[in-house]
Amino acid sequence: MKYKLDRGAHSVYALQYHLVQVVKYRRQVFENEKIVDFLKQKIREISESFDVDVLNIECNKDHFHMLFKAKPTLDMPRYINAIKTITSREIQRNFPEVKEKLWKGVFWSPSYFLATTGQVTLDVLKKYVEEQGNA
């Protein structure tokens, strides 16, 4: 099994994540390409300050998907909160028309989806682990 590995002072790791964040009440605020581009740029800026490598970001009208790599030391709740807080504030500041679609100025849903992603399938990994008992 071959991994693309990252290295720290005392660790070797391969940590990729899939984040999905939904707009509150599924309001369709990402119909304007300028807003989508602005969101992507802000997320990349925030991620850089957290030393997170954004692999891809794509938007639907009411949510976005992001794939990213991070170090094991990343404070995940703080990182996600920064994305939600800063993008909400900056989008509403730069695109005031968005406020018409929101209720009480709340931009993001309080919940999100986060999953780790692998470089191999779970079935391949299970088989690899099982085979270690026969070595």
Distance CA 50, CA 102 (A): 28
Composition of the chain by helix, strand, coil, percent to 5: 40, 30, 30
Q: What is the band of 66 on the pLDDT scale with cuts at 50, 70, 90?
A: very high
Q: Which residues are catalytic?
A: 128
Looking at the DSSP bridge assignments, the partners of residue 56 are 67
**CB atoms inside a 10 Å sphere around CB 134:** 5
3-state secondary structure 82-133: HHHHHHHHHHHHHCHHHHHHCECCECEEEEEEEEEECCCCHHHHHHHHHHHC
pLDDT tens-digit readout, 25-55: 999 999 999 999 999 999 999 999 999 999 9
pLDDT tens-digit readout, 4-21: 889 989 999 999 999 999
In the DSSP assignment, the letter for residue 30 is T
Q: Report whether pLDDT(135) > 60.
A: no
Question: Residue 125's pLDDT is what?
Answer: 72
Domains, the chain: 6-132 (3.30.70.1290)
Q: What is the pTM of this model?
A: 0.88
Taking alpha carbons only, the member of 76, 81, 105 closest to residue 93 is 105
Question: Residue 123's pLDDT is what?
Answer: 81
Question: Residue 105's pLDDT is what?
Answer: 87
pLDDT tens-digit readout, 79-122: 999 999 999 999 999 999 999 999 888 999 999 999 998 777 77
Is 3 in a helix, a strand, or coil?
Answer: coil
